[in-house]
């Protein structure tokens, strides 16, 4: 998944402002104690990051 598609999914699921806040501020244990932005910078794939977000926030399977 491209970064633009990832950001679009985040915005669709959480709203643009909340998605930006989550990406910058929420630390995910599944990402080794990183935020979304940090994980992407450190080389995690968008697929790995999206999976962690979905698991943490219990996104329904049909929207994953």
- Asked whether residue 16 is assigned to any structural domain, the reply reads yes
Query: 41 lies in which domain range?
Result: 3-58
Tens of pLDDT, residues 32-55:
999 999 999 999 999 999 999 999
Contact in structure between 49 and 10 (CB atoms under 8 Å): no
CA dihedral over 50, 26, 34, 4, signed as positive or negative: positive
In a domain, 13, yes or no: yes
Would you place residue 1 in the very low, low, confident or very high pLDDT band (cuts 50, 70, 90)? confident
Does residue 35 lie in a domain region? Answer: yes
Domain assignment of residue 39, yes or no: yes
> Across all residues in the chain, what is the average pLDDT?
96
Q: How many structural domains comprise the chain?
A: 1
Residue 63 is assigned to a structural domain of this protein: no
């Amino acid at each position: 998944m491209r970064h633009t598609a990832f950001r679009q999914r985040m915005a669709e699921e959480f709203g643009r402002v909340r998605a930006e806040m989550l990406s910058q501020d929420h630390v995910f244990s599944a990402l080794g104690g990183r935020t979304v932005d940090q994980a992407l910078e450190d080389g995690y794939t968008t697929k790995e990051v999206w999976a962690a977000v979905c698991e943490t926030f219990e996104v329904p399977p049909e929207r994953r």
